[in-house]
Amino acid sequence: MKAQIDSIKQAALAAVEEADGTQALGEVRVRFLGKSGEMTSLMKGLSALSKEERPEMGKLLNEARTEIEAALELKLAAARESEKAARLQAEAVDVTLPGRAPRTGTLHPITQVREDIVKVFLGMGFEVAEGPEIESDLYNFQLLNVPKDHPARDMQDTFYVNDSYVLRTHTSPMQARMMTTKKPPIRVVIPGRVYRSDDDASHSPIFHQIEGLAVDRYITMGDLEGCLTAFAQQMFTKETKIRLRPSYFPFTEPSVEVDVTCAICGGKGCRVCKGTGWVEILGAGIVNPAVLEMCGIDSRQYSGFAFGLGLERIAMIKYGIPNIKLFYENDVRFLKQFNGEVER
Amino acid sequence: MLAPVSWLKDYVDINVSPEKLAEKLVAIGFEVEGIEYQAKKATSVKTCKILSVEKHPNADKLRVAQVDIGGKTIQVVTNVAVEGGEYTAVALDGAVLADGKTIKRGELRGVLSEGMFCGPEEIGFTAADIDGQKEDDILRFAEGTELGIDAAVALGFDDVVLDVSVTANRPDCNSIYKLAKEVAVALGTECREPEIGYKATGASVNEVVSVTVKDKDLCPRYMAACVRDVKIFPSPEKIRRRLRAVGIRPINNIVDITNYVLIEIGQPMHAFDSRYLAGGKIVVRRAEEGEHIVTLDGKDNTLNSSMLAICDAEKPVAVAGIMGGEYSGIQPDTSTIVFESAKFARDSVRRTSRALNLRSDSSARFEKGIDFASQEYGLERALTLVYETGSGVIGKGVIDVKVNYEKVRDVRFTTAKLRRILGCAVPEKQLVAILSRLGIPVEKEEDGVFTAHVPDARSDIEGVNDIAEEFIRVYGYSHVKPTLFAHSALTRGGVPADIAFRNRVKGELVSLGLNECITYSFTSPVFADRLRIPADSELRRTVELVNPLGEALSVMRTVLTHSMLEVLAYNAAHFNKSASLFEIAKTYHPKSLPLTELPEEKEKLVIGMYGADADYFALKGVLDGLFRALRVEPGYTRSSLAFLHPGRGADIEVEGSVIGYAGEIHPDVASEYGADVRLYAAELDLDALVKLCTAGARFKEFSKYPPVERDLAVVVSDDVQAGDMIAAVKEAGIADMTDAEVFDVYRGAQVGEGMKSIAMNFSFASPVRTLTDDAIASEMAKILALLEGKFDAKIRA
C-alpha cells in the first residue's frame, strides 16, 4: 500500500504540475481528492488493513493528501492570479471612447448671468424683486423725473400701447414701485425683460436688465463704487477694477457710467476694449432727490444709489459672444455651450 | 454733435492732441464717439500734374499718362479722358482709399500702372463738398498747385472733427461756443467770448417790421433785426468749409449765416424776406384751428390751436421753431430780410414737430431746450457776420419782446451735504475754484452755508446734488474711494417664493435634459389662427403695440406655444437633428381694452421637442419627472385642443383644475410652422402650479424585509385607459402594496380585435414582517377582482 500511496502521490503531483489553469486543477482535485478520487479510494481501503498497519498507512496517506492539497492550492492560487490578470487585461477598454452620460440640459446664458449677478447682491443684503413688463407712463417715465415731452424721452426708443401705457424701456420703474411701497432701508435688485424699438446689428428690441437700488439714511457715491467693485470682481476676476465717469440719467444725480478693466487684456488694451483697457458695463448714480420726493421719501433724511446694467452685454463680455442676435435665435448649438462655469 | 477742432480754437487755445482732448472731455462728462481726421480718410492720395498722355497700345478706352508727383515721374494707366497738363490727384502704390480699397501698382493690359487718378469720393468727400467739382469727374486743382501733397489738404480739408455726445441735461453744449467753455474747464484754460462787432447804418428795424407776441408761454423771447440792400452770394470759404465739416450743405451767404450761428451759438434763426410779411407784421400766436401753411419742404400742414405759429398780418408764415413757409425764405431777388432769433418752449416744439411729422435742425435744437441769453448772442453774431461778409446794410436797433426771467438762480448748500452725497472729502478751496471756472460764482456765509449763483443757461442745476456733480466731474471721481455701506443698517435680503419656485422648475427641467430658450414677448397676430384658438377665446384678446417693428412683432402674446413651435421649426431647418427645449416667460392678458389698467401678466412654462428620441411619452416623461420633483400628482385626460394630434394630446389636471396640455402637434399645424418633423409641446400655467405645490418632503418608513414583485397581464377593451386602472388599484387599499405600474401594452391577433393586453407590475413590502406567498396571493386576487369588476378585464392566459 505504501508503494501505492507513493505512486498516486507522484501521479497527483505530476498532474498538478502539468495542469494549466483553474479548471484543469479542479479536475485534478476531483481525480485525486474527490469523493471517488484515487486518494479517497485508498482512504476507504484503510479499513481493510490490520490494526498495526492502519495508523502508519493512515498517517502516510494524510501526509500525501496534505502534500497534494498544498501543491494544488499553491498552483491554484497562481492560476487564479494569472487568470484574473488575463481577464483584467482582456477587459481593457479604449478610455478615449465617449462616456455614457445621462442627458442634462442647460440654462440660457442670460439666466446664468442673471443668477450669477443676483447671487453677488444677495450676499450684500439685497432682496430680489420683479415688476410688470407692460408699464404705465407714470412709473416708466414721470416718477423717474422724465415728464411728458421731455427731451430725455429721446434717450430711449419706446414701444407704446397707448398714451398711458408702454412696454417698459428699463427696469427702473421698479425703483419707483419699491420706493412708493416700502420704507427704507431698501436694498433690492430687479432683473427682467425690457423693450426698446431698436433693431439693428447691435441692438435687440427685447433685452434684459438688472436694476439695483439702495436707500437709507446715509448712502454715498463711495458705497456705490464699493458695491459695484465687489460685483465686478466676483463677476469677472479678483483683479478687476472699476472706473466712474460723469454722465446723465434723469433719475440719478450725480450720474455715472461705470467701466471695468477689460477682462480680455486685463487693461493693457485690445480689440474688445478698442485699445482703451476699459469696457463700459453699466449706468448708475445717486438717486435724484426729486425722485425720492415723488416717491414719498424725505430726501433730507434719506439718500440712495441706483444702477442698471444690461445682462446681454455682461454675457457677451463674459462668454465672448460676438452678436446679440444669437441670444434670441435659440439655436440649440448655441444654447448648449454655456454650462459648467466654475466660480472664481 | 460734430465739433471741428479749428472752430473750437476760435474760442479756446488747444495745445493737446485731439486724442488727449477727447480723453479730457470724457473725464468731465462728454463722451467722444469719434475723431475724424478729414485728411486721413484716405492715405497716399497726392496732388500731381499730368505731363503727357499716350494711347494705350492694347486697349482703345485706356490712356497711358506720365505724371509728375513732385520731383518724381510715374506712369498711370487710366480710362479718364485726360489730355496732359491737368493738375489732379493720384492714389499711389499702397494707397488706402476712403472705402477701404487698396491701390497696388501693376500691369493693365500689359502696361505698367503705378497709381490711379481720384475723384472726391476716393478721399471721402462728395462733389458737393468741393467748389466747382463736377459729378463723376477726377479732382481738378488750379495751375501751379504744389505737387506731391495730400489731395485733401490741398482742398483745405485739414480739420479734425470730434463727434461729441452731449447728454440731455446739457442742451447748452450743443454749440461750439458752450462746448469750448467746457474744453477750457477740461484743459484748465480760459474761454473767449463770441466776437461781436458791426455798424448799423440803415433805417430802423421798426420801419420794416413790428413784432407782437400773443402767447408768451410758448414764446418767452422774440428778437428781430433787419438787413436792407441784401446781396446774395456764396459764403466765404471758411464758413462753407466749417458748415460742410459739421454736415451742413452751404446754400448762400444769408442761409449759411443762420446755420453758422445755429452751430456756433446754438441759437436757431430764421431769415424772412420782408416782402412776404403782409402788413410788415410779425404776430406770434397759437394757430387757429385748421389754419394751413405750406412749408419750405412743399408740405401742406394743417395746424391746430395747440401749435405756435409765426404769422404776418394775415396768415402763418412759419411753424414756430420748426420750419418757415414756402415763400418766407431767401430768394435770388430778396432785398430786405428780417432775422428772427427767438426762444420757443421746448415741449411745444416737440409736440408740434411730432404731430405734423415735420423736423429740422432748428426743431431738434429747440426740443433740447435753449437759454435766454442765446437769442441775443445769436442775433448779434449773425449781424456781425452780415457786416463782415458785406451781405447788406444793417438796420438800426433790434426788437426784443420778452418775459421777465431770472438771470441767476441761487442754490444753497453745505460741504457736509456734498460729502454725504459723494462719500469723499470736499476741500473748500477747490470747490469754489471749480464752480467759478464753470461760471457759477459761490459765496460762503458765516454759518458755513454756501450760496451758488447759477446762471440761467444752466437750467439743469436745481439743487445740492447738481452742485455735487459739477464739483466731482471736474475734481475727479478718482477721489471717491469704495466703501461698502459704511453708514447703513444691515438688511436681510432674499429671494421671494415665486422666483425661487421658477428657479426650482428651471433646475428640474435642466436635469431632465432640456435646454432653456428665450423668445420675444411680442409676436404676430396670426398666432391665434395657427393654434386654432376658438373665435370667442379670451386668448384672442391681446395687448397691441401702436408702433411695432412690424406686423410680425405687434401683439403681446397670450400663449407661449406659438413661439416654441417657431423655435423648434427654426432648429429643424438649421441642421439640428433634435431639440428638447423649455421657456418660462410671461403672457399678457388685458383686463380692459383699450388698456386702462395694467394687464394681468401670467407666468407660463412651455416645453417643446422633436427628433429621434421625441414622442408623446418622452414629453410626458419630462412632465412626470417635473411633477414628481414638485410632489404634485396630475391627471391626464384626452384633450380636444384643435392644434394637437387628435389621439395624442392630453389636458393636464391637478386637484380638479386644468393647468395645461401636453401632446403631439397636429401635422397640419406643424407644417404651417414649416416643420417637416413631428413636434411635441406642453404648456403649463406656472402661477397655478405654484399654488398647488404645498407639500414638502416627509420621511416615510421603508421596509427592512425583502420586497416581493408580482406581474399581472389582463385583456381589456381598447378604450380602457391604463392610467385609470393603475389609479383604481392604488385607491383600493391593497395591503402592503408599495407601487403599481404598467410595463407593457400589447395589441394584436392573440388578444382579439378591439382589445389590448396590459401588463402590470405590483410591488409589495411590509415594514414589520416578511410577506408570505399566501398573503400576496390574496392581495393579487383582490386586484384581479377589482380589475374584472371595474374594467371588465380578463386575465390573460
The 3 state secondary structure assigned to chain A is CHHHHHHHHHHHHHHHHHCCHHHHHHHHHHHHHCCCCHHHHHHHHHHHCCCCHHHHHHHHHHHHHHHHHHHHHHHHHHHHHHHHHHHHHHCCCCCCCCCCCCCCCECCHHHHHHHHHHHHHHCCCCEECCCCCEEEHHHHCHHHCCCCCCHHHHHCCCCECCCCEEECCCCCHHHHHHHHHCCCCEEEEEEEEEECCCCECCECCEEEEEEEEEEECCCCHHHHHHHHHHHHHHHCCCCCCEEEEEEEECCEEEEEEEEEECCCCCCCCCCCCCCCCEEEEEEEEEECHHHHHHCCCCCCCCEEEEEEEEHHHHHHHHHCCCCCCHHHHCCHHHHCCCCCCCCC
Q: How confident is the model at residue B332 (pLDDT cuts 50, 70, 90)?
A: confident
Q: Are residues A290 and B462, on separate chains, in Cβ contact within 8 Å?
A: yes
**Three-state DSSP state, B63:** strand
- Which residue of chain B has the CA closest to A245? B27
Instruction: Give the whole-number percent of chain B exceeding pLDDT 90.
Output: 83
pLDDT digits (tens, 9 = 90+) for B110-119: 999 999 999 9
Q: How confident is the model at residue A341 (pLDDT cuts 50, 70, 90)?
A: low
Please, what's the largest Cα pairwise distance for chain A?
131
Contact call for residues B162 and B352 (beta carbons, < 8 A):
no
Q: Picking from A250-259, B301-310, B589-598, B746-755, which range would have the lowest pLDDT averaged per residue?
A: B746-755
- Which residue of chain A has the CA closest to B171? A151
Rg (CA), chain A: 41
Q: Smallest CA–CA separation between A25 and chain B, in Å? A: 39
Looking at residue A53, what is its pLDDT? 81
Amino acid at A170: H
Q: Are residues B168 and A129, on separate chains, in Cβ contact within 8 Å?
A: no
Q: Smallest CA–CA separation between A295 and chain B, in Å? A: 17
pLDDT digits (tens, 9 = 90+) for A76-128: 999 999 999 999 999 998 888 888 877 889 999 999 999 999 999 999 999 99
Q: Which residues of B touch A149 (CB under 8 A)?
A: 346-347, 350-351
Q: Which residues of A touch B586 (CB under 8 A)?
A: 133, 193
Q: What number of C-beta contacts closer than 8 Å exist between A and B?
A: 267
Q: B interface mutation test: which of A165, A169, A229 has the most B CBs within 10 A?
A: A165
CB-based contacts of B703: which residues, under 8 Å, 6+ apart? B738, B765, B766, B767
Q: Smallest CA–CA separation between A304 and chain B, in Å? A: 9
What is the bridge-based pairing of β-strands B515-516 and B579-589? Answer: parallel
Q: Which residues of A touch B490 (CB under 8 A)?
A: 125
Mean pLDDT across B533-554: 94
CB-based contacts of B321: which residues, under 8 Å, 6+ apart? B268, B308, B342, B344, B349, B362, B363, B366
pLDDT digits (tens, 9 = 90+) for B663-704: 999 999 999 999 999 999 999 999 999 999 887 888 888 888
Q: B interface mutation test: which of A115, A136, A144, A149 has the most B CBs within 10 A?
A: A149
A125 vs A123: CA distance, rounded Å: 6
Looking at residue A317, what is its pLDDT? 86
CB-based contacts of A26: which residues, under 8 Å, 6+ apart? none
Q: Are residues A161 and B483, on separate chains, in Cβ contact within 8 Å?
A: no
Q: A interface mutation test: which of B487, B503, B581 has the most A CBs within 10 A?
A: B487
Q: Which residues of A touch B481 (CB under 8 A)?
A: 222, 225
Q: Are residues A214 and B169, on separate chains, in Cβ contact within 8 Å?
A: no
B173 vs B365: CA distance, rounded Å: 11
Q: Which residues of A touch B171 (CB under 8 A)?
A: 151
Q: Are residues A199 and B596, on separate chains, in Cβ contact within 8 Å?
A: no
Q: A interface mutation test: which of B366, B545, B574, B601 has the most A CBs within 10 A?
A: B545
Q: Which residues of A touch B480 (CB under 8 A)?
A: 221-222, 225, 244
Contact call for residues B401 and B213 (beta carbons, < 8 A):
yes
- Pick from B496, B570, B585: which is nearest to A128 by CB? B496
Q: Smallest CA–CA separation between A71 and chain B, in Å? A: 43
Q: Chain centroid to CA A85: how far? A: 39
Rounded to the nearest 10°, the torsion over CA B330, B331, B336, B338 is -20
Does A154 have pLDDT greater than 80? no
Q: Which residues of A touch B464 (CB under 8 A)?
A: 289
pLDDT digits (tens, 9 = 90+) for B68-110: 999 899 999 999 989 889 999 999 999 999 999 999 999 989 9
Q: Please return the burial class of B84, using the count of CB atoms within 10 Å of its CB with bins 0-12, 13-18 and 19+.
A: middle
Looking at residue A339, what is its pLDDT? 77
Does A228 have pLDDT greater than 90? yes
Residue-averaged pLDDT of chain B: 93
Q: Smallest CA–CA separation between A234 and chain B, in Å? A: 15
CB-based contacts of B424: which residues, under 8 Å, 6+ apart? A221, A222, B472, B479, B480, B481
Helices marked H in B457-549 = 464-475, 497-511, 527-530
A221-235 and B415-422 helices, crossing angle to 10°: 10
Q: Smallest CA–CA separation between A103 and chain B, in Å? A: 5
* CA neighbor of B497 nearest in space, from A119, A130, A135: A130
Q: Which residues of A touch B24 (CB under 8 A)?
A: none
Amino acid at B465: N
Instruction: Give the whole-number percent of chain A exceeding pLDDT 70.
Output: 98
Q: Position of cell 418752449? A: B345
Q: Chain centroid to CA A18: how far? A: 60
Helix H or strand E encompassing B782: helix B773-791
pLDDT digits (tens, 9 = 90+) for B545-565: 999 999 999 999 999 999 999
- Pick from A167, A199, A221: which is nearest to B423 by CB? A221
Q: Are residues B482 and A225, on separate chains, in Cβ contact within 8 Å?
A: yes
Q: B interface mutation test: which of A104, A134, A291 has the most B CBs within 10 A?
A: A134
Going A171 to A176 to A181 to A182, the CA torsion angle's sign is positive
- Pick from B171, B484, B493: which is nearest to A226 by CB? B484
Q: Please return the burial class of A189, using the count of CB atoms within 10 Å of its CB with bins 0-12, 13-18 and 19+.
A: buried
Q: Which residues of B touch A185 (CB under 8 A)?
A: 488-489, 491
- Which residue of chain B has the CA closest to A248? B167
Q: Which residues of B touch A102 (CB under 8 A)?
A: 513
B33 vs B22: CA distance, rounded Å: 9
Q: Are residues B484 and A115, on separate chains, in Cβ contact within 8 Å?
A: no
- Pick from A104, A230, A330: which is nearest to B519 by CB? A330
A62 vs A50: CA distance, rounded Å: 17
- Pick from A111, A217, A303: which is nearest to B421 by CB? A303
Mean pLDDT across A163-172: 94
Q: Smallest CA–CA separation between A107 and chain B, in Å? A: 5
Looking at residue A343, what is its pLDDT? 59
Q: Are residues B496 and A245, on separate chains, in Cβ contact within 8 Å?
A: no
Q: Are residues A205 and B520, on separate chains, in Cβ contact within 8 Å?
A: yes
Looking at residue A202, what is its pLDDT? 82
Q: Which residues of A touch B606 (CB under 8 A)?
A: none
Q: How confident is the model at residue A342 (pLDDT cuts 50, 70, 90)?
A: low
Looking at residue B383, what is its pLDDT? 97
Please, what's the largest Cα pairwise distance for chain B?
128
Q: Which residues pair with A309 in a beta bridge?
A: A210, A282
DSSP string spanning B596-648? SSPPEEEEEEEEEEESTT-SHHHHHHHHHHHHHHHT---EEEE---TTEEEEE
DSSP string spanning B330-390? --TT---EEEEEEE--HHHHHHHHHHHT---HHHHHHHH---THHHHHHHHHHHHHHHHHT
B542 vs B592: CA distance, rounded Å: 10
* CA neighbor of B342 nearest in space, from B439, B239, B272: B272
Does A276 have pLDDT greater than 90? no
B782 vs B772: CA distance, rounded Å: 16
pLDDT digits (tens, 9 = 90+) for B171-213: 999 999 999 999 999 999 999 999 999 999 998 999 999 999 9
Q: Are residues A104 and B543, on separate chains, in Cβ contact within 8 Å?
A: no
**Three-state DSSP state, B20:** helix
- Pick from A187, A199, A330: which is nearest to B491 by CB? A187
- Pick from B368, B423, B464: which is nearest to A220 by CB? B423
Residue-averaged pLDDT of chain A: 90
What is the bridge-based pairing of β-strands B63-68 and B43-55? Answer: antiparallel
Round to the nearest angstrom and report the end-to-end CA distance of chain A.
Answer: 84
Q: Are residues B595 and A162, on separate chains, in Cβ contact within 8 Å?
A: yes
Q: Which value does ipTM take for this structure?
A: 0.85
CB neighbourhood size of B470 (10 A): 26
Q: Are residues A245 and B29, on separate chains, in Cβ contact within 8 Å?
A: yes
Mean pLDDT across B505-516: 96
CB-based contacts of B134: which residues, under 8 Å, 6+ apart? B127
